[in-house]
A and B are shown apart, each in its own frame.
Chain A
Amino acid sequence: MTSMQYAERFRSRWPFNTIVARTGVALGLIAFVATLPPFKARSPWVPVFIGLLAIAAGIWVLSRGQRRPGWTAIGFGLVGIALGILATRASLGNLDQVVVWSALLSATLIWATPLTYAAVGGMICERSGVVNIGLEGMMLAGAFFAALGADKFGSWELGLVTAAVAGAAFALVHAFMAIHLRADQIVSGTAINFLALGVTGYFFIDIYGENGTPGDLPRIPDVKINFLGSVFGHLNLMIWLSFVLLVVAQVGLFRTPIGLRLRSVGEHPRAADTVGISVYGIRYAAVVVSGVLAALGGAYLSIGYLGSFTENMTAGRGFIALAAVIFGNWRPFGAFAAALLFGGSTALSFRLAQPWGSASVLFQALPYVLTLIAVAGVIGRSVPPASAGRPYVKQ
């Protein structure tokens, strides 16, 4: 390939508008980061100036007719200015206490990982045309049965297997309801959530009672890679596996025949059926895979991170994962970016609890507000697969 061709490929993949928009996003981030340690700009004009540059970039892209990247850059600029001013007005002591980059980064990864698993699962499920509101329940089932399996079989590997089986079982119920019985998928998903809440709570109390899960539960180990430093050197195995999962999902969805079939079933099941693809088979497989993945996300919470199970311990993370699917525009790396953003807001919320008090929980609401804005179409619509939620009737 000649250099001309490389340049051509680069231009087609990275049009000038996109570069400007991404620069705007980066400037928005810089506006905020410049006020944090180790830079600690104290004048509020620093974030305002950099943020205005980001907004200018956004407006320029917007004027070229590209709404989504334009508004994204403007949004990042505005948020960067707001957070930057907030940071310049905070005391230096508080800043140093809250913003410990290594701690923030590892906390972000820890909170993003369960979301990543569930979100990739939910994305696969919706790509096949079945809406999965039951992610929360499948996650919770995974969390409990991982703890149960790890405890009873005495190994975390079998704990993961138990979790996967439990997630698959709940997913099968949803799949049967949604695909064969053509029940309303929202009703069925809501039922799964309640069922998981009831089943895990019931057996948790029945088996463990008031003492809770034993303190010596086998845990999913951390992977120690010393030369990667303090953050990436001690990541949990499940975090590394989530990176692998992302690549597999991305390649599988967009570069393999199975992925093509999956997407075609979600977009136009009749056409897929006509060319001989088993719509029901693909949908069953996709729902079960989503259940397994959501359960693995839950398993990470119980036997990976916390080392114990408590009733309703997922506390809405399945719904954040659902938000991540939408916010990430039904793409694996989009969902991952959303999971990082949402995991980051959770991490920040916990670190801000000391100086801010109850106002810190507003960061927990951030994923939901952002998703509302995303579906409201302010920054360009996020478009679900065409047949998501529609039962298919074989002819």
Chain B
Amino acid sequence: LSEPENRAPVETSLEADPESYAPSVAKRLAFYQRAGGIVTPFLTAVFAFLMGGVVVAATGHNPLRVYKAIFEGAGLNWFFHFGNYSISLPFSSAHVWFWWDTNTNHTAAYNLTQTLITTTPLILTGLAVAFAFRCGLFNIGGQGQYIVGAITGVYIGSRFTGMNHFTHVLFAIVLASLAGALWGAIAGFLKATVGAHEVITTIMLNWVAYWGGSYLFGRGGPLQNHTDKSIPISDDIVAKAKLPAIWGNPQLQALHSGIFIALGALIAFYIILNRTTLGYEVRAVGFNPEAARYGGISVARNFIIAMAISGLFAGLAGVLDILGWQFRLGVLDVQVSNIGFIGIAVALLGRNTAVGVGLAALLFGALLTGTSTRSLDPDIFQPQLAGNLALMIQALILLFVGADLLILYIWQARRKVRIPGLGRTTQETA
């Protein structure tokens, strides 16, 4: 497996060949990625949805109707229903006028709360991948860190019953995030000390977490439900460990306040990376570990810290899901969940930036919710099919995002510029 310095073969190869218009193309590409930073991921997503639509059409369904149903299943049509509504402010009799109907008894508003519930952990698992990426590390282990966070969260949430609401929630969140951080730091530590590739170690740690969770909540497992020994599910967390709901009926899965923590994490991610010494060092190591080492930055230390912070984000995602809406964790939850893996697509589509991750998380949150059994209208499209369609779209997005050279290739065709290693040489006709 490669060392991280080989992540950017395009630029180096462009500079290596004196005959090409190396600097200008590289510069243009850099500009393209910065200025067109929104355009490329947008096109990527559109293209992936188009190809998904082709599959839908090929199997005899109407892609437009299917996508419309998914759109409505995600509750995004809520934004198109204008009116004069009001929200009552807490602790007062005041009202704020609002353009949209916030009553979640209506399907659109309810579906939107579900989309936002899914977006919350996706933001965090996306950040878990993005932060490590900025340090030149590929954190595939978001899933394992997420599970470890969720396990710790459900343990603390269902024990320590004497605490008051705020401290209990805080205690659970802090410890679960630290557990996730520890899980991530193992991979960082192995990378820093013996050079074990983080992709391999995080994959292995994912599966250790997977089977560890299956053991803990399985029949006869140490964390299995204390009252009903026939089901492989944990105890419920106590009422005082639940995150307060902010929108919707708590009996029917309301949007919880964890979304503010996720949004706060986006801001923290931006500030840490761009406004602190730690972030500067992390990015320096990500750009070029050798140069960073030469500049007096401890590469090993940054590997460990970056993986720990990544794990912290993913662990936070796990505990917010538990305290926010799941309230318990079962063997099936551990085995079926793939929020951490989707975080990879979120981070890459979001170009590893705070804003990008936020938007990509919303897109995937909407896609997951819109294709779920609960939200999608089964008369139009089978939800089981739709779930797999979502997986395909996600895979296609990953494929297209991974191929920055494809963009260069199209660029080459447009500008008639020769790029070494791409095979064809186009004539200077223009």
Binding site for B on A (CB under 8 A): 131, 133, 173, 177, 180-188, 190-195, 197-199, 201-203, 205-206, 316, 319, 322-323, 326, 356-359, 361-362, 364-365, 367-369, 371-372, 375-377, 381, 384, 388-391, 393-395
Contacts and interface: CB of A to CB of B under 8 A. Distances in A.
Contact of A183 (B2, B382, B405, B420): B405
B391 to A, nearest CB: 3
A361 B214 contact: yes
A190 B140 contact: yes
Contact of B388 (A183, A202, A361, A376): A202
Nearest to A357: B220
Interface in B203-230: 203-205, 207-208, 210-212, 214-221, 224
Contacts of A185: 2
Chain B residues touching A, majority SS = helix
Given A181-B406, A358-B224, A326 B200 contact: yes
Contact of B201 (A356, A375, A388, A390): A375
Interface in B1-58: 1-2, 6-7, 9-10, 13, 16-17, 55
Contacts of B197: 375, 384
Given A376-B190, A393-B420, A195 B220 contact: no
Contact of A177 (B1, B215, B394, B399): B399
Contacts of A322: 200, 203
Contacts of B221: 357-359
Contacts of B344: 187, 190
A386 to B, nearest CB: 10
B313 interface: no
Contacts of B402: 177, 181, 183-184, 187-188, 191
Contacts of B322: none
A358 B405 contact: no
Interface of B: 1-2, 6-7, 9-10, 13, 16-17, 55, 59, 138, 140, 190, 194, 196-197, 199-201, 203-205, 207-208, 210-212, 214-221, 224, 232, 331, 341, 344-345, 348, 382, 384-385, 387-396, 398-399, 401-406, 409, 420-421, 423
B310 to A, nearest CB: 15
B344 to A, nearest CB: 6
Contact of A384 (B1, B55, B232, B385): B1
A177 B398 CA distance: 11
Most buried by B among A201, A202, A384: A202
A290 B232 CA distance: 38
A184 to B, nearest CB: 5
A302 B83 CA distance: 55
Contacts of A187: 344, 348, 398, 401-402
Given A188-B399, A358-B219, A371-B204, A201 B387 contact: yes
Contact of B205 (A184, A372, A390): A372
Given A186-B138, A190-B140, A388-B2, A368 B204 contact: yes
A198 B392 contact: yes
B190 A368 contact: no
27 contacts: A181-B402, A181-B403, A184-B402, A186-B140, A187-B398, A190-B341, A193-B395, A194-B341, A195-B396, A195-B399, A197-B388, A197-B391, A322-B200, A358-B220, A358-B232, A361-B218, A362-B215, A367-B207, A368-B204, A375-B197, A375-B204, A376-B196, A388-B2, A389-B2, A390-B9, A393-B9, A394-B421
Nearest to B407: A181
Nearest to B421: A393
A322 B344 CA distance: 20
A357 B203 contact: no
Given A182-B10, A361-B211, A372-B208, A390 B398 contact: no
Contacts of B405: 180-183
Residue with the highest number of chain A CB atoms closer than 10 Å, among B138, B194, B196, B224: B196
Contacts of A372: 190, 201, 204-205, 208
Contacts of B220: 356-359
Contact of B13 (A180, A362, A388, A393): A393
Given A197-B395, A322-B203, 9 more contacts: A133-B199, A177-B399, A197-B388, A198-B388, A202-B388, A316-B210, A323-B204, A384-B1, A394-B421
Nearest to A394: B421
Contact of B211 (A183, A202, A364): A364
Nearest to B401: A187
Contacts of A206: 59, 385
Given A361-B218, A362-B215, A198 B389 contact: yes
Contacts of A326: 200
B282 to A, nearest CB: 19
Contacts of A131: 1-2, 199
A112 B385 CA distance: 32
A369 B208 contact: yes
A371 B387 CA distance: 33
A205 B211 contact: no
Contact of A173 (B10, B387, B399): B399
Contacts of A323: 204
A128 to B, nearest CB: 14
B382 A205 contact: yes
Contact of B212 (A193, A194, A357, A365): A365
